[in-house]
Structure 1
Amino acid sequence: MLDISNVPSFTELSEFASTSAGGKVIFASDDFFATCENMIADSEPIFIAEKYTEFGKWMDGWETRRKRIPGHDWCILKLATKCVVRGLLVDTAFFTGNYAPKYSIQAACLTPEEEALLPERDTQMGSACTECDLERLKQLRSDKWEEIVPVTALRPGYDDTRMNYQKVVSDEAFTHIRVNIYPDGGIARLRVFGEAKPEAPPCDQLVDLASLLTGATCVGHSNAHYGHPKNVIKPRKGETMADGWETARQLDRPEILESSDDGTLKTTGEEWAVYKLGFNGRIQKICVDTEHFKGNYPDSIKIEGTLLDQEEWTHSKPITWYNILKPSKLSAHNEHWFTCNSDVISHIKVTIAPDGGFSRLRAFGHIEPTII
């Protein structure tokens, strides 16, 4: 059975390497058994015993061939946005006799000019990089990038050993990471947790202040039984219910439900999540997307805001919230758009009643230039 008792606190932060967050594989030295893109897939890794390809056993991760030339395998990932990395998860699930024995992580903040030096990625199982690609990459000197995880042993992909967590202590912000495996082998999934540090957009530009790409982060919640509320601020559309926020059912919900005058249900319970916005600003448009939530969407949602001077939010400290979006009915598998005109705020509190889940939250507005 998978052991989740020692999951570190940094996993509560936003994640920047996965596909749904906007992470991207830029380069891989070898993709023979399984392409590197699998390593940043959003789904949980699976194992299909009878599945083979023309190159060998099909594996749900990144797996290189057994190396018969000098060197070791490595790849470069572009993170979803410039961020400070606080921790990583290297999951070796199902790689029991073919996992990479050791790994290390290097990182850099590339300029657009440096990024242009990266070769075009050709994702193809059974392939390896070309000498031309390697020559082009030498200009980036990626082997000299800052080492944020030293050479570290990995464990095999059994339930009790597959989750390899690593804290990172660097406070620098990076756009790209280099993942080294020594000398070859496989990794099922890689997750990179941290804090976004994007450049401030123009004040006249309408931006999603609640997106992880602009630096928003979930700082507290009441319930995340089936899906964490940090999922709803990812930039891409959710692919399944697992990629949204979903709570357990409220145990004290009424035995017989009744409607209020405004059409929402009379409920005794609710669930909430608090988000620190990427930049202080004024929200004008809100989108609540219940895509994939067809029998378990919330009856209603309300959104409140506040402007806090301090950087940290704690649930124990009394906070005065004011209304941005009054309790509003939701429906199944649908985008819901609302207009509003908030004051300058730094945090929002999203409350759903009585329970359930939704896929994505968007809060478009303009940043406040005097208090960025």
Structure 2
Amino acid sequence: MNDRQSPAAPFTELVNLASRLLGAGVVATNEDTFADAENLLVAKPAEFRAHTFGHKGQIMDGWESKRRRGVSAEQPHPTDEDHDWAIVRLGVAGRIHGVIVDTAHFTGNYPETGAVQAASIPGHPSVEELADAQWTDLVPRTALRGNTAHEFAVTDPTRYTHVRLVIWPDGGVARLRVHGEVLPDPRDLEGLSFDLAAQEYGGVAEAASDRYFSSPHNLNAPGRATVMGEGWETRRRRDKANDWVQIALAGGGEVLAAEVDTTHFVANAPGWADLVGYDASHGGDPATDAEGWFELLPRTRLQPDTRHRLRLSAGRAVTHVRINVYPDGGLARLRLTGRLTEAGRAALALRWFNALPAVEAAQALAEAGLSGGEAITLAAARPLATPAELTAAVAALQPADGPDGTETSRRAAAVWRLLGV
């Protein structure tokens, strides 16, 4: 579970790492004669239109492979191990908390069993490199039912970049969803200003006062909303309170500017909005510590169907931001441009480092300047909960330090370059 997410929240409340909006794609499949594997990632629920036939049969909104056959008239049936597969590049790498394998509308043609595997393959691997990768079972081979959204919780703490859906012996799956915690490579964000609230960097809309018409997760989704339904909209209030959404940022940082976007909300935009921040880096809980919140943007008049670009005064670091709207209504997007603090960058880097596969962690340490043996030893000491634990693990590396402390200093400097702690 995302350590910034409410313990009671289901994994479906986390970001879909296999979203095309985030850049996900089907990069390889062994078979999709009946229906394209790319349909697995379509954002909207699968549809079925009876008696819509193409040259290959009923047109299905999903991935469907052809019927497998045996090797001869004497052996007409497929073997127990015959299977089909599709590999998905996640839009953003992260720790997977749950997957959904949805066989919607596949009733007489769904797979008998299925599995979901994952791999971490840095860079931009070829199909051949994907085939040679080490794949780990997230969901072991299990029985599937027709016309069913199968939800599988995942406890593997590793950061992955790709998943592979495997079905036995053949058949169709409508949709694949991969929900989890985004874990960007901190080296890619070094020194940059970016949208600290964005899903693609790890921002999570973790709480909201109301989600009657649409989800608060739309607020920090990629791109611009194309219709009102792609934003966040509340029901009409009949009391004197207000509505709000709370976002856990990608990391602790300083918010420099905000964009409050009411595009497409013409007759139902809020009248006003303000922003408040909270810094949980010292152990506070934004859900219970009402006194810990402080103003980032005073209550500001909003116009319908408008992108409001607002500069904020440089000031305190925040890990969470809450937008309050008065009294109710809808927003298309919220953008919070800023930069990570040193502490925020270090915390993000430590989460990333702890979740890397051992080989990748050791390679990253070696590239930062540790020897091969030191890198392997330090990678094996994970997980490291705090920068202090990391510092202690660095100091414990062998060989023993010399009288001038040069070995410890050299190793610490190498880790600092990588993790910023």
* TM-score, reference length from structure 1: 0.81
Match of 2:174? 188
CA distance in 2, matches of 1:312, 1:61: 45
CA distance in 2, matches of 1:30, 1:236: 32
1:263-342 counterparts in 2 under 5 A? 268-309=240-281, 313=285, 315-342=287-314
Does structure 2 conserve the Cα–Cα contact (< 8 Å) formed by 1:25 and 1:75?
yes
Match of 2:21? 20
**RMSD, matched Cα:** 2.3
Match of 1:366? 339
Q: Please, which moves more after superposition, 66-75 or 50-59?
A: 66-75
1:106-255 counterparts in 2 under 5 A? 106-112=117-123, 115-118=124-127, 136=128, 140-142=131-133, 144-157=134-147, 162-200=148-186, 201-252=188-239
Which structure is larger by alpha-carbon Rg, 1 or 2? 2
How many residues of Structure 1 are paired with residues of Structure 2 in the alignment?
Answer: 326
CA distance in 1, matches of 2:173, 2:238: 40
Return the offset for 1:210: 0.5
Match of 2:90? 79
Q: Structure 1 33/308 Cα, relative in aligned 2: closer, same or farther at 3 Å?
A: same
Q: Structure 1 31/290 Cα, relative in aligned 2: closer, same or farther at 3 Å?
A: farther
CA distance in 2, matches of 1:364, 1:345: 12
| Equivalent residue letter for 1:339 | R
Does structure 1 conserve the Cα–Cα contact (< 8 Å) formed by 2:252 and 2:281?
no
Aligned partner of 1:90 among 92, 95, 101: 101
CA distance in 2, matches of 1:163, 1:8: 19
SS of the aligned residue for 1:305 comes to strand
SS of the aligned residue for 2:211 comes to coil
Q: Structure 1 23/312 Cα, relative in aligned 2: closer, same or farther at 3 Å?
A: farther
Does structure 1 conserve the Cα–Cα contact (< 8 Å) formed by 2:245 and 2:322?
yes
Q: Structure 1 183/96 Cα, relative in aligned 2: closer, same or farther at 3 Å?
A: same
Does structure 1 conserve the Cα–Cα contact (< 8 Å) formed by 2:277 and 2:321?
yes
CA distance in 2, matches of 1:239, 1:72: 39
CA distance in 1, matches of 2:33, 2:267: 42
CA distance in 2, matches of 1:336, 1:307: 25
SS of the aligned residue for 1:76 comes to strand
Return the offset for 1:278: 0.5
SS of the aligned residue for 1:110 comes to coil
Return the offset for 1:104: 0.7
Return the offset for 1:78: 1.3
| Equivalent residue letter for 1:163 | A
Match of 1:99? 110
Return the offset for 1:35: 1.4
Aligned partner of 1:351 among 313, 324, 327: 324
Q: Structure 1 64/292 Cα, relative in aligned 2: closer, same or farther at 3 Å?
A: farther
CA distance in 1, matches of 2:161, 2:197: 20
CA distance in 1, matches of 2:149, 2:49: 20
Q: Please, which moves more after superposition, 310-319 or 21-30?
A: 310-319
SS of the aligned residue for 1:169 comes to coil
CA distance in 1, matches of 2:198, 2:326: 23
Return the offset for 1:8: 7.2
Return the offset for 1:313: 4.3
Does structure 2 conserve the Cα–Cα contact (< 8 Å) formed by 1:203 and 1:366?
no
Q: Which protein is richer in helix relative to its size? A: 2
SS of the aligned residue for 2:200 comes to helix
Match of 1:125? none
Q: Structure 1 311/233 Cα, relative in aligned 2: closer, same or farther at 3 Å?
A: farther
Return the offset for 1:202: 4.2
| Equivalent residue letter for 1:301 | A
User: C-alpha offsets along residues 272-302 of structure 1, whole Å, 9 cap, x if unaligned?
Assistant: 1111111111111212233343443322222
Match of 2:45? 44
SS of the aligned residue for 1:233 comes to coil
Return the offset for 1:232: 1.8
Q: Which protein is richer in strand relative to its size? A: 1
| Equivalent residue letter for 2:318 | I
Q: Please, which moves more after superposition, 315-324 or 95-104?
A: 315-324
Note the residue ranges of structure 1 that are not aligned, 5 or more in a row. 1-6, 119-135, 253-267
Does structure 1 conserve the Cα–Cα contact (< 8 Å) formed by 2:88 and 2:164?
yes
Return the offset for 1:194: 1.0
CA distance in 1, matches of 2:268, 2:236: 9
CA distance in 2, matches of 1:236, 1:67: 41
Return the offset for 1:77: 0.9
Higher relative contact order (CA 8 A, sep 6+): 1
Q: Please, which moves more after superposition, 195-204 or 178-187?
A: 195-204
CA distance in 1, matches of 2:228, 2:45: 13
Return the offset for 1:59: 1.6
Return the offset for 1:68: 3.3
Return the offset for 1:141: 2.3
Note the residue ranges of structure 2 that are not aligned, 5 or more in a row. 1-7, 71-77, 346-421
